[in-house]
Structure formats: structure tokens, C-alpha cells
Structure 1
């Protein structure tokens, strides 16, 4: 997995927990006094560790077992999700473009009407204004739909219920028909491929949501090495010009647009944790049969402005 940019007491504590080590054993592995571990964890993110200790933790993480590394990544992700949720609520209160949809309660943002640059050739296209979900539909969102309608739950849920550790992850194992049923229940629709692309690239044709630099670290793709979905709030530096998350990586997203009229195949956008970064370009075209379901395919919705 990728390393930690800056080790504080918080990250050190999460690594100890992920490795299932006592304070004494963890201190021996890092090469410090056990009292320092207690101090680090007590101070949390207010304590930035010395360069020597940061290097020691870098080495310890690199040599950790894959299961320990995955647990550590999951713990970091969960914390980031919780932290960002407060910022999202602040955005809701302050930004007049954002609103909560009355159907499913999800946070949406306005994409203004006008011309945008579309496709690999950046051709000019006009779209009317619309609202788009800031985050993909999560397992938690989808569970409310399943409980309200009796719709078939995804196959990776246990006894028809969303696993607690996946509540903020995008729902997967859903067909185009499943996604459409959720959208209808919520009083929304799936985005057209054009709406999805404009929400991802902005009006001026950015190659990626964050700009034109091919930075794989800003999204959950194969190169990231996580090999699983992540909470929809995680990649804050990868948001689009409209403030929309996960438009590159994490999961492919169903669109309402058919590949060719009557084909029964619908466009997918955004790439996924299973795909190489080169597949994450929002202008890229991909499609699948409407009955396809997989562990890397989900959706988000749009609504009228």
C-alpha cells in the first residue's frame, strides 16, 4: 500500500491497532520506549512525530502483513469519512448550490446550464441545468430503498442487510435495472452520459475532475493497491469543479444512455478500483448489458434543477 505522508500519534495508534499489537510489543518494533506509544496515542493528531520515528513507522508499515496493511488502510479511510462528513454538512449550510433531495435525503449540487467541452475531442455541447448527487449511492442509501420496497438486496450483504463496515461505501452488485429502480423510488433518474461527464469535468473540459495532471493518488484505482471499495468521502483532493466526489475510480457508474438505441447495453462511466488509472478518464466510453452486475459497478442519480 502507499505510505503515510505525515505520521502523527493518531496514525501510529491506528497502525498498532491494525497490527493487533500491545503497546509494549509495538514499541519494540518501532524501537522506542513503551511510554512514548502511550504519549503518541494520547496526543493523537496534535503530535507530529520526529523524522526518525516517522522513518521507523514507514519501514514497519512496508514490512507489515498484507492483512495488517489492509486493516490500516480501512481504519484511515473510516476516519477520513467521518471527518469529511462534518465538512459536507458545513458545505450544505453555506453553499446555495447544494441541497438535500426530499426523496432519499442525499446531498446534491447544481450543475448550471450552458456549453461544456465533451469527449476526447472536446467538442462543444449544450446541456440544461440539473442537480447531481455529490456522492455515489452508498450501501446505506440502498438499504433504505430495499427496506422500503422489498427490492432484492445485493449479493454481498449478509442476510439481506448492509454490512456495518460498508455503510459509506458505494453499493455494488447492482444491475442497470436495480439502479433505475432505486432512482425511480427516490424521485430521480440515472444521469445521461453527457450529464455525468459535465459533472465530472466541468464546463472547460478538464481531462480529470481535479485538472489535467494524471495523478492516480487522487482516486481509488488499481494502482492505489487497496483492491476494494472505499468510503465515498475519501478522495477530497479528487473532486470535480462542481464539488462532486468519486468521478474517477472506486466504482463504475451506470448511466441512462444506451450504447446504441435498442441494444440493451448502457454506458458506464468513471472506472473502478479494479481498473488501471488510464481507464479513469471521464471522457472514456464503456458499456455493459443492463443485466450485468459486478463487485465494481454502482451508480449515482440526477434530478431536475
Structure 2
């Protein structure tokens, strides 16, 4: 259940799109009392009876209102600034814009990183990786240029405007690999993906070692759908990559060991609990699998002495 303070009560009112008078009547309090709740915000913990009333109102709300409430509830934490994030966002020295799909890519320099739950030392050559997962807008360029079939969730085969900045989903490994070839890139190996997500020093999560669900779109957010790829600024990885945890599972180029025609997936999704989101976690699926929580991003080997594509 939600822990209700004056802040959460206000966010529920906004999600339901009710004015103060109508929302107060739903809760069974006066408009003046509601105004006090909202003014005091997080400093005011509501009595048990009011907690239960708000729980009931939320449970009876339609799915659109519940999604709006979940989005509002996590919005502040998603963009919460800290020195690490500010430093990463202000520095573009190691980024380029790819000439084919115009996606921003960041350099992951050659060297050792700590891999897996046991932090084994692994060497990787330098490479560039997309800062954001491939979006519906990105994928639309590919579909237009190649005639590749669009994802099944696009109405009439056209990229939905409301989802343009969300990660593309309903793409098989073959679809993702075709996009990578068209753009002159590749799908990342599971090791490349993990290093971009954790950095070199063995972090448990992209942002550090503390399991903070508000920094990513996992099941705990209760959004139940994808979110824009640039939303979770506070969850950015040490290399400046977004959505390395949550939002969508991402296809890799590494073949799985549990059967033929299967490739590894990384990162978890909005359907997954945070406990199944660590960057070293192994997951895999058949190359023909498509789902509403599976997408991808691409990599490109860095040139010696520079980062040009």
C-alpha cells in the first residue's frame, strides 16, 4: 500500500483530475482539511481511517488514473539531481552523434571492469554504446529506409506520436539485429552491456549499491508500461547511459548456453521486480520472441586513438 502523506494525497487528486471540493468529498473530509493536507505535504502523516479511504479510492480508479498517479509519485525521484548526475549530464567530451540514425553514443574506454556477482576482472576493448535505448522514433527511420515490417503495436503501421520517445518494443532478435546492421552498428555483447551499466568498479546497480526502485521503471513503480527513455536521470550509469535498469529488456549479441537460437537479454523491464534487475543477471529468449517489454540498443567498436564512427 502507498504510505499516504499530504503530498501523496495531492498527487492522487491530480491523477484523478479532481478539484479540491470534489476530491475532499470522495475522501470524506472538508475542503479546508484537504487544503491543510496539501500545504503540509510530506510533513503530515494521515490517520489510519484516511489512509484506508485513499487506498480504496486508488484501487477503484481506472487504469489511466492509476498510471498517472504512479508517474507523478515517482517523477521527483526519477529526475532528482545529485553531483554524479550533474557531472555526467554536463560532460559531453566522450559522446558523438551517430551519422546514420543520429543517436547519441558514449565512449566506454578500453580496460578492465569487474564482472558478474563475484566481480571477476574482465578486459574489453573500447567501444561506443547508445546513451538511450532505441526509441519508436529511431525505429521509424529504419522502417522508412528499409521497408522492414513495423512493430505490431503501431496503429496502421505508423509510429505513435505519444510513444515516439519510448523504447521500441515487440521486436525480435532478428528485428533488432537488422536495425543494427542498417545503422552500421551491432548489438552489444552481454559483457559490453554490463560494463556500460555498472562501470568498472563493480557497482550493484548503475547508480550505486543501494536498491532504489524510484531510480528506474521496474514493477515497483506500478506504471505498467514503458516510459520516455530520458526520464530517469537519477538512474544514469557511470558511463552516462539511461535505462540500463528497467523500462525494457535489451537484446544482446551473446548466444545463450541453454539452447539453440537463443540470445541473452539484459536490464530487466517495467514488468520485472528490482531484485531481478542487477546488470549481471542472465536472461535469454528465442530469436523469434517478441513482447511488450523487450527492446534494444546498439554498440560500435571505437577507432584506435579516437571515438569517431
TM-score interval (norm. to shorter): 0.7 to 0.9
Question: Matches of residues 173-252 of structure 1 in structure 2 within 5 Å?
Answer: 173-252=170-249
Instruction: Detail structure 1 runs of 4+ shifted over 6 Å in the superposition.
Output: 3-6, 75-84, 90-93
Q: How does 1:111-122 map to 2 (within 5 A)?
A: 111-122=108-119
Partner of 1:41: none
Question: Closer, same or farther in 2 for the Cα pair 1:214/1:99, shift >3 Å?
Answer: same
Cα offset for 1:69? 2.0
2:121 pairs with 1:124: yes
Partner residue of 1:302 out of 284, 299, 309: 299
**Alignment-derived partner of residue 263 in structure 1:** 260
**Partner secondary structure for residue 239 of structure 2:** coil
**Normalising to structure 2: TM-score of the pair?**
0.79
CA distance in 2, matches of 1:165, 1:32: 37
Query: Which runs of 5 or more structure 2 residues have no equivalent in the other structure?
Result: 303-309
- Number of positions where the alignment pairs a residue of Structure 1 with one of Structure 2: 289
- Per the TM alignment, residue 28 of structure 1 is displaced from its structure 2 partner at its CA by 5.0
Tell me, yes or no, if the aligned pair for 1:2 and 1:225 is still in contact at 8 Å. no
Shift of 1:27: 6.0
Answering whether residue 87 of structure 2 is matched by residue 97 of structure 1, we say no
Query: Following the alignment from structure 1 to structure 2, what is the Cα–Cα distance between the partners of residues 169 and 81?
Result: 15
Question: Is this contact kept in 1: 2:78–2:214, CA < 8 A?
Answer: no
Q: Which segments of 5 or more consecutive residues in structure 1 lack a partner in the other structure?
A: 38-47
- For the residue of structure 1 that corresponds to 2:284, the secondary structure is strand
Residue 109 of structure 1 aligns to a residue whose secondary structure is: strand
Confirm or deny: 8 A CA contact 2:252 2:264 kept in the other structure.
yes
Matched position secondary structure for 1:49: helix
Shift, 1:182, TM fit? 1.0
C-alpha contact 1:77 1:234 (8 A) present in aligned 2: no
Q: Is the 8 A contact 1:251 1:270 kept in 2?
A: yes
Structure 1 residue 106: deviation in Å? 1.2
SS class of match (2:155): coil
Q: Any idea what SS the aligned residue of 1:267 has? A: strand
CA shift at 1:7, angstroms? 4.1
Query: Which secondary structure state, in structure 2, belongs to the residue aligned with residue 50 of structure 1?
Result: helix
Cα pair distance change 1:104/1:93, threshold 3 Å: farther
Q: Distance in 1 between matches of 2:42 and 2:120?
A: 52
Contact 1:81 1:233 in 2 (8 A): no
Post-superposition shift, 1:61? 6.0
Match of 1:165 among 162, 166, 172: 162
Q: Answer yes or no: is the 8 Å Cα contact 1:249–1:270 preserved in 2.
A: yes
Which residue of structure 2 aligns with residue 42 of structure 1? none
| 1: CA distance, partners of 2:132 / 2:5 | 25
Deviation at 1:80, TM superposition (A): 9.5
Deviates more, 1:214-223 or 1:155-164: 214-223
What is the Cα-based RMSD across aligned positions, in Å? 3.6
**Which residue number corresponds to residue 134 of structure 2?**
137
In structure 2, the partner of 1:69 is 66
Report if aligned partners of 1:61, 1:69 keep a CA contact under 8 Å in 2. Answer: no
User: What TM-score does the superposition give when structure 1 sets the normalisation length?
Assistant: 0.80
Segment drifting more, 92-101 vs 137-146:
92-101
Structure 2 residue matching 1:159: 3-state secondary structure: helix
